[in-house]
C-alpha cells in the first residue's frame, strides 16, 4: 500500500530542471524515477509544467489521490492520475508530474514483489520470456542537438548482426573511438552534442555517413553485414534550408548501409509518409527490412498511431514514455504497434537523467531496439542505460554474457 509520495527538482544533462518522484509503501519499499526532456519535441506530445510546479502538483494533488492504493495496479493508478488531470494532453497537472509518479509506482511494485523492474514491466505486458534490444548508437549529433552545421539530427550505428548485447556495446564503443580518431585527424578539437556523440561541422550530411562507414570498417566490422547505419532526420524541427525529398532519401538508402530512417517527413505530412513507405516497399532490394520510424508523427499517442496504421505511414515506432505521460498508456501504444507488425524502438530524450528506467522497460516489452545516445563514458546519463542492459544480460543469459565491464 502506498504510504507516501515525494517529489524533488533535479537537473538533467543539459542542466535544465526536471522532476524526480519517490513512492514509498507501508512495507518499507521505495522506488524513484526521473523524467527526461526533449529539444526537438513533437507538437502532439503531452505537455509539461515547470519543474517547481510539477513538484507541487505531485504533493498537492497526485499524492493524496494515490495514498492507500496498491502500486501493483499500475493501470488503475495511472487512470486515477489521468482522470485527475482531465485534459487530453496532460497540460493541467503536467505529463512530467504524472510520469515521474507513474514510473516510480512500477519501481516500487517490482521491489515489493521482489522482482527486477523488467520482470514487473513484463508481467504488466503479459510476458515471461525476455530478449535484449539492439542498441542504436547516436555517434554524430546535428540539428537541434548540436551547434554544428549538420542538418540531420542523428547519425547512428546499429550493430544489428553482431551477436550478443555485450558484443554490440563493445562494437559501438570501438566504432565511436575510431570515429573520434578519424575526426581529430581534421581538427584537434571535436565538439560533443547533447546525446554524447561528436558534433563536427562537415561539408555535407553525406560526409558524416562516409565517416561512419570508414569507422565501422577500420574497427574491423563489415558495414551492413554486421553493423548498419540509422538516421533521424527530425523533419519537424530541421532547418528550412534542408531539402526534404523522397528521391533524396532513396538515394541515401541506396548509397549507404542504412537500416533505419526516422522522421523523414514533417509530423503533419501524412501523405508524404504513406507515399514514401509505398516507395520503400517497392524498391527495398535487400534481405533486411528497412525501418521507417515514426517519432514526432506518432508521439507515442494511440490516436496518432491508429491514424498512421490506417494510412500505412511507417513500419516502426519510436516510443518515449514522456510523449504520452503514463506507463500503462505507453504499454497500450506498444501493444497496438506490435499487433500491426511494427518494430518497437524504446527511446531516451536528448535531455536525460541518470535514471536507467528505459533499459528495463525495453527488455520488459521485448522491444527490438533501444536508442539512448552515444556509448560515451563522459556521458553517464547515456551510459547508465547501456550499463543496466549489461546487468540484465548477465541475469538473463549468464552463459553468453561476459563479465567484462563497459
- Which of 31/375 has CB closer to ligand PGA? 375
Nearer to ligand PGA, 170 or 228 (CB): 228
- Our measurement of the distance from residue 206's CA atom to the centroid of its chain's CA atoms, rounded to an integer in Å, reads 24
By CB under 5 A, residue 295 contacts Zn ion: yes
Write out the residues near ligand PGA by the rule CB under 6 A. 38-41, 232, 234, 295, 318, 347, 349-350
**Least separation in angstroms between CB 211 and Zn ion:** 21
DSSP designation for 194: T
What is the footprint of Zn ion within residues 326-355 (CB under 5 A)?
A: none
Residue 349: which of ligand PGA, Zn ion, none does it interact with, CB under 5 to 8 A by kind? Answer: ligand PGA
Give whichever of 122 and 135 is closer to Zn ion, judged by the CB atom: 135
CB of 191 to Zn ion, least distance (A): 21
Cα–Cα dist 293/345, whole Å: 9
151 binds Zn ion (CB under 5 A): no
**CB contact set of 83 (below 8 Å; sequence gap of 6+):** none
Q: Is the distance from CB of 242 to CB of 258 less than 8 angstroms?
A: no
Residue whose CB is less far from ligand PGA, 29 or 349: 349
Q: For residue 342, report the phi and psi dihedrals to the nearest 5 degrees.
A: -75, 150
Smallest separation, CB 232 to Zn ion (Å): 4
From the CB of 353, what's the least distance to ligand PGA, in Å? 13
Using CB under 5 A as the binding rule, the residues of this chain from 221 to 240 that contact Zn ion are 232
Can you state the percent helix, strand and coil of the chain, rounding each to 5? 40, 15, 40
The site partner of 32 among Zn ion, ligand PGA, none (C-beta below 5 to 8 Å per kind) is none
Q: How many residues does the chain have?
A: 406
- The CA distance from 21 to 9, in Å, is 9
What is the smallest separation between the CB atom of 242 and ligand PGA, expressed in angstroms? 15
- Tell the smallest beta-carbon distance from residue 295 to ligand PGA (Å): 5
* Residue 184: partners with Cβ closer than 8 Å, 6 or more residues away: 190
**Which string of x and - marks every residue 4-23 that binds Zn ion (by CB under 5 A)?**
--------------------
Instruction: Report the residue number, 55 or 152, with the smaller CB distance to Zn ion.
Output: 152
Query: For ligand PGA, which is the closer residue by CB, 45 or 226?
Result: 45
Q: Which residues contact 370 (CB under 8 A, 6 or more apart)?
A: 133, 134, 135, 136, 345, 346, 347, 358, 359, 362, 385, 389
DSSP string, 3-49: EEEEEEEEE-TTS-EEEEEEEEETTS-EEEEE--B-SS--TTSPP--
Residue whose Cβ sits closest to ligand PGA = 38
How far, in whole angstroms, is CA 27 from its chain's centroid? 33
Active site residues: 195, 320
Give the relative orientation of helices 74-85 and 327-339 as an angle to the nearest 10 degrees: 110
Catalog residues that contact Zn ion under the rule CB under 5 A.
232, 295
Amino acid at each position: 500500500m502506498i504510504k507516501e509520495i515525494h517529489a524533488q527538482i533535479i537537473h538533467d544533462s543539459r542542466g535544465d530542471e526536471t522532476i524526480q518522484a519517490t513512492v514509498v509503501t507501508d512495507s518499507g519499499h521505495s522506488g524513484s524515477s526521473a523524467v527526461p526532456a526533449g529539444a526537438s519535441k513533437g507538437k502532439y506530445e503531452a505537455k509539461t509544467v515547470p519543474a517547481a510546479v510539477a513538484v507541487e502538483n505531485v504533493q498537492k494533488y497526485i499524492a493524496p489521490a494515490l495514498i492507500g492504493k496498491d502500486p501493483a495496479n499500475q493501470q488503475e493508478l495511472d487512470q486515477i492520475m489521468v482522470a485527475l488531470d482531465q485534459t487530453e494532453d496532460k497540460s493541467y497537472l503536467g505529463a512530467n508530474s504524472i510520469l515521474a509518479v507513474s514510473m516510480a509506482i512500477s519501481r516500487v511494485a517490482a521491489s515489493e514483489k521482489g522482482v527486477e523492474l523488467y520482470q514487473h514491466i513484463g508481467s504488466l505486458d503479459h510476458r515471461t520470456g525476455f530478449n535484449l534490444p539492439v542498441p542504436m548508437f547516436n555517434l554524430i549529433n546535428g540539428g537541434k542537438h548540436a551547434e554544428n552545421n549538420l542538418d540531420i539530427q542523428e547519425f547512428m550505428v546499429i550493430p544489428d548482426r553482431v551477436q550478443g548485447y555485450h558484443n554490440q556495446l563493445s562494437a559501438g564503443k570501438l566504432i565511436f573511438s575510431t570515429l573520434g580518431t578519424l575526426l581529430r585527424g581534421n581538427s584537434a578539437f571535436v565538439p560533443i552534442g547533447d546525446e554524447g556523440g561528436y558534433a563536427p561541422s562537415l561539408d555535407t550530411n553525406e560526409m558524416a555517413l562516409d565517416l561512419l562507414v570508414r569507422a565501422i570498417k577500420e574497427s574491423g566490422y563489415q558495414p551492413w553485414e554486421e553493423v548498419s547505419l540509422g538516421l533521424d532526420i527530425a523533419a519537424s524541427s530541421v532547418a528550412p534550408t534542408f531539402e526534404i525529398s523522397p528521391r533524396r532519401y532513396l538515394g541515401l538508402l541506396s548509397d549507404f548501409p542504412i537500416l533505419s530512417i526516422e522522421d523523414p517527413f514533417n509530423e503533419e505530412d501524412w501523405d508524404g509518409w504513406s507515399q514514401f513507405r509505398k516507395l520503400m516497399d517497392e524498391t527495398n532490394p535487400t534481405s533486411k527490412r528497412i525501418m521507417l520510424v515514426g517519432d514526432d508523427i506518432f508521439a507515442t499517442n494511440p490516436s496518432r498511431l491508429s491514424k498512421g496504421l490506417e494510412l500505412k505511414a511507417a513500419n516502426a515506432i519510436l516510443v518515449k514514455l514522456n510523449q504520452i505521460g503514463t506507463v500503462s498508456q505507453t504499454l497500450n501504444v506498444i501493444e497496438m504497434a506490435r499487433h500491426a507488425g511494427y518494430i518497437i524502438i524504446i527511446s531516451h530524450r536528448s535531455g536525460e537523467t541518470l535514471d536507467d528506467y528505459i533499459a528495463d522497460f525495453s527488455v520488459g516489452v521485448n522491444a527490438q531496439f533501444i536508442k539512448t545516445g552515444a556509448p560515451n563514458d563522459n556521458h553517464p546519463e547515456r551510459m547508465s542505460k547501456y550499463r543496466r542492459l549489461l546487468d540484465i544480460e548477465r541475469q538473463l543469459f549468464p552463459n553468453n554474457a561476459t563479465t567484462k565491464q563497459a
